[in-house]
Amino acid sequence: MRRQGLGERNENGDKFAHLCAFNKLVIDGTIFPHKRIHKTTWTSPDHTTQNQIDHICINKTFRRTIKDDTNKLNNFKLALSNKFQVFHDLLNEEKTTVKSNWKEIKEAITSTYHEVLSHKKHHHKEWITVDTLDKIQERRNKKAAINVSRTRAEEVKAQAEYTEVNKQVKRSIRTDKRKNVEDLATTAEKAAREGNMRQLYDITKKLSGNRRKPERPVKSKEGEVITNIEEQRNRWVEHFKELLNPLNIEAAPTGLPINVGPPTIEEISMVIRRIKSGKTA
């Protein structure tokens, strides 16, 4: 167990540490420094207790192969350093003021942030109402309040508020989704009455979802799986050629044995017996 582990070690933790030491294992989740929120792997149902209970162990021989993923951070530092290099001469000029210097520094940091890190774009469903979007934004604010809490009491209070808002968001989303389905069903009924098959098909497809059939491997005649794309295409060509151009097709008979003579007395009698009572022939 390295120094970057989270929480206090209990009896089970001691047993686990001894097991790793005996088998020459390294707990990789305790090697690199990270924020507490990134270390926790378990949260209690009441959101009051967080701990690191899930671990991945590897042999000490492969310890050097474990790397901390800091690509984005390093790219940000490099881009920011390049921008500050450009502003270096400008900041050393005597005519510049503290206000102008701060403006340039702020612009360099914010522009680099948007270029390298940027914000993740969230695409919400078109049926989600504005009221629900407001609740979602409020939930984000409550989540941010949890992360910036300085005391345990503040964190518990913020967590309780977040839990309540989260329930409201889920309830509001369910209501919006139910209303959207009802509206689509009403529109589909109207399209069916009017004979608008195109609109009915589109609505049915939207309600059923985009479920794709699982892809099945292409096999040769011998039953072997073909992985090469070009060979798969050739196999499809071969398959359809055999399917659409079969050999030894029997010619259709030119004349069929059809009796075109006048009906016999027996045939007429049989037809009359089959007629229901009260019906004319």
Q: 60 and 104: one domain? A: no
- 242 within domain boundaries: no
Q: Which helix (H) or strand (E) holds 202?
A: helix 197-208
Total of domains in the chain:
3
- The reported pLDDT for the residue numbered 86 is 62
- 256 within domain boundaries: no
Round to the nearest angstrom and report the end-to-end CA distance of the chain. 100
- 89 within domain boundaries: yes
Say whether pTM exceeds 0.85. no
% of the chain with per-residue pLDDT over 90: 19
- 122 within domain boundaries: no
Q: 188 and 169: one domain? A: yes
Q: 58 and 79: one domain? A: no
In the chain, the amino acid numbered 147 is: N
Mean pLDDT of all residues in 30-41 = 75
- 262 within domain boundaries: no
**How far is Cα 166 from Cα 173, in angstroms, rounded to an integer?**
11
- 261 within domain boundaries: no
Domain-terminating residue out of 159, 194, 229: 194
Structure tokens at 202: 């589109």
- 258 within domain boundaries: no
Dihedral angle computed from the Cα positions of residues 195, 197, 200 and 202, in that order, rounded to the nearest 10 degrees: -160
- The reported pLDDT for the residue numbered 182 is 93
Task: Identify which of 163, 153, 174, 145 has the alpha carbon closest to the alpha carbon of residue 43.
Answer: 163
C-alpha pair distances (Å), 13 with each of 38, 52, 57, 63, 123 = 20, 11, 14, 21, 43
Q: Provide the residue range defining the domain that includes 158.
A: 138-194
% of the chain with per-residue pLDDT over 70: 84
- The reported pLDDT for the residue numbered 118 is 64
- 255 within domain boundaries: no
Task: Tell me what the pLDDT averaged over the chain comes to.
Answer: 80
168: helix, strand or coil: helix
Domain-terminating residue out of 146, 165, 194: 194
**How far is Cα 102 from Cα 257, in angstroms, rounded to an integer?**
102
**How far is Cα 121 from Cα 149, in angstroms, rounded to an integer?**
26
